[in-house]
Amino acid sequence: MIKFEDVSKMYEDGTAAVHSLNLDIKKGEFFVIIGPSGCGKTTTLKMINRLIPLSEGTILINNKKVSEYDIHELRWNIGYVLQQIALFPHMTIEENISIVPELKNWNRQKIKARVTELLHMVGLDPHIYRNRKPSELSGGQQQRVGVVRALAADPEMILMDEPFSALDPISREKLQNDMLELQRKIQKTIVFVTHDMKEALKLADRLCVMKEGKVVQIGTPEGIIHHPINRFVRDFIGSTAAQPEEFLNIEQFLQPICTSIISQPLIKIISIHTPLQEILEKLAHEEELAVEKDGNVIGIINRQMIIKYMSTHLQERGRV
C-alpha cells in the first residue's frame, strides 16, 4: 500500500533527517513509527503526503509514485491528524468536519449525514455538538473531532503525528482505546507517529523503531518486546513501558467468561497486552476486569488471580 524505497531526506541546511529508509506498510495496517525526538519520524510521515519533498529514493502508494499523483487528489485521499488541534476556531464542528467533503463537491445531504455518522462514531451526540465552536469542547473532544475530520471523505489512509500527546493522561488513554475500537470498524491504513512506547505497543499492528534517521527494528509489539534487536530497543522499551517480562502470559490465569459477568455493563475491558503494572493499578480500583484479545473478550481477571499469577511468576524467576 505505502512503500518506501531507499528514501532519504536532507534539509537545505545539511541536516540528514532520514537515510535510506525502506518500509512496506500493508493495507489496513496500524503502523506505528516510534523513536526519540529528532530521529526523523515527522519527516518520514510528511513525505508520504508530500508536505516535505524527499531528496532521494521513491515513495509509492498503491504502486504509483507519490510524485505522480495530482497533489489535491493525494492530500484528499490521505487523512491527516496533528498534535495541535488544528480545528478552525471560527467554524462550527460540522463545518470543520465538512471541509474535505465540500472540496470534493459532495452534496449537502450526503455531507450532513456523514457528519452525523462520524460524530456518533466517536461518542459525540450530533444534536449537541454539530453546531458548537471548537472552543466549546474539551481538549479530548476537540481531538476526537480532529480524528473524524481526517476520516470525513473516507480516505484510504490516515497519517497521525503524535495526535494524543498534548492531552492529559486520562483523555489520552480514552482516545487510544477509542482509536483501537474505531480501527476495528474502519480498517484504514494508519501511519501513526509517537515517541511513547507504551502508546505504540498498545496501538500497533506493527511498529518501526527509528534512531537517527534509520530503521532499527520493525516488528509486531510481541516480537519487539520479546526479541528486541539490540540494547537501544531494549532500553527504549524499558524506559517508557513495562519490562518485557511484565507482559508475560496471563491467559492461563483467566477465569472463563460467564454471561452474568459480561452482562454487567460497568465491567472494564483491558487488552491482553496491557502491562502488568497497569493491570495492578486498575485492580486497585476495580474488583475485576474483562480481558480482550484480538477483539474478543477471552476471560476475567480479578485481584486474587493476579496475586496468584505474580506468586507463580516470582517463583519461576527464583525470587521467592
Q: Is 41 in the site for ligand ADP (CB under 6 A)?
A: yes
Cα distances (Å, whole numbers) of residue 50 to 43, 160, 161, 189, 287: 10, 15, 15, 17, 50
Residue with cell 495526535: 163
Distance CA 247, CA 153 (A): 38
End-to-end alpha carbon distance in the chain = 50
Task: Find the binder of ligand ADP among 2, 4, 34, 40 (CB under 6 A).
Answer: 40
Q: List the strands of the sheet with 16-25, edge to edge.
A: 16-25, 2-10, 56-61, 64-65
Task: Find the binder of ligand ADP among 4, 7, 43, 153 (CB under 6 A).
Answer: 43
Shorter beta-carbon distance to ligand ADP: residue 42 or 183:
42
The dihedral over CA atoms of 262, 291, 267, 163, expressed in degrees to the nearest 10, equals: -130
The stretch among 10-18, 91-99, 114-122, 231-239 that binds ligand ADP (CB under 6 A) is 10-18
Task: Find the binder of ligand ADP among 2, 4, 7, 17 (CB under 6 A).
Answer: 17
The stretch among 31-39, 127-135, 196-204, 283-291 that binds ligand ADP (CB under 6 A) is 31-39
Distance CA 52, CA 263 (A): 50
* C-alpha 2, offset from chain centre: 17
Q: Is 38 in the site for ligand ADP (CB under 6 A)?
A: yes
How big is the site for ligand ADP, counted in residues (CB under 6 A)? 12
Q: Is 88 in the site for ligand ADP (CB under 6 A)?
A: no
Shorter beta-carbon distance to ligand ADP: residue 40 or 163:
40
The stretch among 39-47, 67-75, 78-86, 289-297 that binds ligand ADP (CB under 6 A) is 39-47
Shorter beta-carbon distance to ligand ADP: residue 240 or 271:
240
Distance CA 181, CA 121 (A): 10
Name the minimum Å distance from CB 45 to ligand ADP: 8
Asked if residue 157 lies in contact with residue 2, where contact means CB atoms within 8 angstroms, the answer is yes
Q: Is 194 in the site for ligand ADP (CB under 6 A)?
A: no
Distance CA 150, CA 146 (A): 6
Q: Which residues bind ligand ADP (CB under 6 A)?
A: 11, 13, 15, 17, 35, 37-43
